[in-house]
Structure 1
């Protein structure tokens, strides 16, 4: 197995990339909707025009909410001290159990590094809440997994 600190670094980089991709997608949706909103011209079908504008406004609000979530994820990632090693699970911990391996950061899903799957989970997710504050050897009530190691 590769240096676990290096794996944590790669997991952190993958989470940053995940957030950047989400940010780029939402930003392009916002730009596209702005263009559509400004290019929308009033036609003889006034109701249709107003409905189209209302739909675009709703899309813009939804994208703005997604942007707020993305900024929260960036803040969480900025708080992680990747070099920190603790005997108690905290933000930035790499947790190896007999069922799966987790990186406590943001909810970015499965990340594969050198043919090994890791799950990036947030402290607010069900598994993240179960893991937070536990120590090596603890049994977590999530699939009856036993924590084998924390990095």
Structure 2
């Protein structure tokens, strides 16, 4: 981000007319994009840092690992599919539609996900 800003500040006008302004604008766009990515990363870091392992495993919440007959979910930050050992987990944010569905359920309940009927076998 700093590199993009420094490059934009150092660009000098040339005889090519609008080349200076175009280059400067493109560098500003790159800087803004990097700033957005940094902010999103910091937001995910704050959420991940606020997760406290649950003592009560009967209720699904932030930090819960929800095991089903087919798919395993981790409710925390949205990081996609994660492989641990020989098991796969879908990591989802607490605001994701599937997480909002899971938050209302308990062990033994069933629900639909991607046209599959899943049963919650364990909450950790």
Q: Shared topology, TM-score over 0.5? A: yes
For 1:2-151, list aligned pairs within 5 A. 30-82=1-53, 84-142=55-113, 143-151=116-124
Where does structure 1 lack aligned partners over 5 or more consecutive residues?
A: 1-29
The whole-number CA distance in structure 2 between the counterparts of 1:123 and 1:52 is 40
CA distance in 2, matches of 1:114, 1:150: 19
Q: What number of residue pairs does the alignment pair up?
A: 122
SS in 2 for 1:42: coil
1:71-114 deviations in Å (ceiling 9; x for gaps): 21111111111253421110000110112111101011111111
Moved beyond 2 Å, runs of 4+: 82-86
Q: Which moved more, 1:51-60 or 1:36-45?
A: 36-45
TM-score by length of 2: 0.87
- The TM-score normalised by the length of structure 1 is 0.73
Work out which of the two has the higher radius of gyration on C-alpha atoms and give 1 or 2: 2
Against the structure 1 CA distance between its residues 49 and 139, is the aligned structure 2 distance closer, same or farther, given a 3 Å change threshold? same
Answer 1 or 2: which has greater helix percent: 1
Name the residue aligned to 1:15.
none
Q: Give 1:3's aligned residue.
A: none
**Aligned Cα RMSD in Å?**
1.6
Higher normalized contact order (CA 8 Å, seq sep 6+, divided by chain length):
1
Unaligned runs of 5+ in 2: none
Q: For the Cα contact (< 8 Å) 1:121–1:128, is it kept in 2?
A: yes
The structure richer in strand per residue is 2
